[in-house]
Amino acid sequence: MLARTADNLYWLARYMERADYIARIVNTTRRLAALPSVHEAERAEWQSALLSAGAAQLYAEARGAVTPASVIDFLVFDPANPSSIVNCIESGRTNARAVRTALTAETWDTINSGWLELTKLLQMNSSARSDSDTLGAILDLAMKLSLDVDGSCYRTMLRNDAYWFGRLGLYLERADNTARILDVKYNILLPETEVVGGTLDYFQWTAILRAVSALTAYNWVYRDSVKPWLIADLLILRPEMPRSLISCYDNMQRFLDAIARAYGRQGASQRLGRQVLTRLENTSINQVFSEGLHEFITGFIDDNNRLGAEIVEQYLLQ
C-alpha cells in the first residue's frame, strides 16, 4: 500500500473519532454547566472542555476570555480550529475522497452523506452558531456519523492493511480522548470548595461516564454507587470496556502485529505498543493512585503521542 493511502485512511479514522469526542464533550459540558452552584462553575466547566479537547492554548491565543458561546463556537464551528467538529468532518471526508478505491461503497456513502447533511444544516440556518436546535442537530449528527462510519468499516471492509491502518487511527485517537477526559476531571473539573463524593462531584462523574458511553457498563461491572477510583479502574484497566486505555492498546497491538506480519518486518511502533500494553496489563488501580493519577495519565498521553509519531515515521511518511 502507498504511504499516502495509509495516511489518508489513518487520518480519516482519527478525524471521525475526534468529531464524535468533541460532540460528546460539548454535550456533557452543557449538562454540567447547568448544575446549580455557588461559584463560577460555568466558566470552569467550559475551561475544562477546552482542556479535554486539547485546545485550551489555541483558544487562549485566538479568543482570550472563556465564555460558553465562544467556546461552543470554537469547538463546533471555527475553521481556525483544526479539531472543530465541522473541520473534522470535512477533513475526514477529504481523506475518504482521496482513497475512495480503498473504501467500500457503503463506507464512502456514509461519510459523504454525513458531510452533505452537515453542509445542508449550516446553509439552512445562517444563525447556526447561536441556534440551540441547530447546535443539537450538529452534535447528534457528529456522534451518529462516527458510529455509522465505524460500523460500516467493521461490517464491509476486507481485513487487510486498509482496514488495519484505519483501526490504528481510531484506537490511537480514542485512547488519547479517554485519557484526557479522565485527567481533566481529577485535576480541573471539581472546584476546590467542593467535597469529593459530594452532590456536585456525583453529577460530574455521572456526566463523564455518559460522555464515554460507560454509565451502563459501570453499573454492570461494579454494581456500586459512583466512585472515582472505580471509574478510573473502568476507563484505564478493564479490557472489556471498549474505550478503556487497555482495550485501545490491545486492539492497536493486534493491528500493528497484523501489519508487521503482512509486510514481513516489525519496527519501533510494534515495540512501543507492546511496552505500553504490557505496562497496563501489569498495573493495578492501587499502583496507579500510588504513582499519582495525573502523573500516570500524563505519562500515558506522552507514550501515546510517541506511538503516533512512530507509526507516522514507520509507515506514513513517503
What's the pLDDT tens digit per position in 5-48? 999 999 999 999 999 999 999 998 888 777 665 445 566 788 88
Burial class (CB in 10 A: 0-12, 13-18, 19+), 43: middle
Give the CA radius of gyration of the chain: 20
Q: Report the pLDDT value the prediction gives residue 194, as an integer from 0 to 100.
A: 46
Q: Rounded to the nearest 5 degrees, what angle is found at the Cα of 149, between the Cα atoms of 232 and 207?
A: 30
CA-wise closest residue to 164 among 255, 97, 236 = 255
Measured over the CA atoms of residue 130, residue 30, residue 189 and residue 176, the dihedral's sign is: negative
b/e 73-101 (16+ beta carbons within 10 angstroms → b): bbbbbbeebebbbbbbbbbbbebbebbee
pTM to 2 decimals? 0.91
Q: Report the pLDDT value the prediction gives residue 224, as an integer from 0 to 100.
A: 85
Q: Report the pLDDT value the prediction gives residue 195, as an integer from 0 to 100.
A: 45
Burial class (CB in 10 A: 0-12, 13-18, 19+), 65: exposed
Domain boundaries, the chain: 1-156, 159-318
Output the nine-digit C-alpha cell for 314: 514507520
State the average pLDDT for the chain.
89
Low-confidence ranges of the chain (pLDDT < 50): 38-39, 191, 193-197
CB atoms within 10 A of CB 33: 18
Q: What is the dihedral of CA 171, 175, 180, 182, to 10 degrees?
A: 130
Q: Report the pLDDT value the prediction gives residue 104, as an integer from 0 to 100.
A: 96
Give the contacts of 159 (CB within 8 A, at least 6 positions apart). Answer: none
Give the contacts of 230 (CB within 8 A, at least 6 positions apart). Answer: 218, 222, 224
Between the alpha carbon of residue 187 and those of residues 156, 233, 292, the distances in Å are: 41, 17, 11
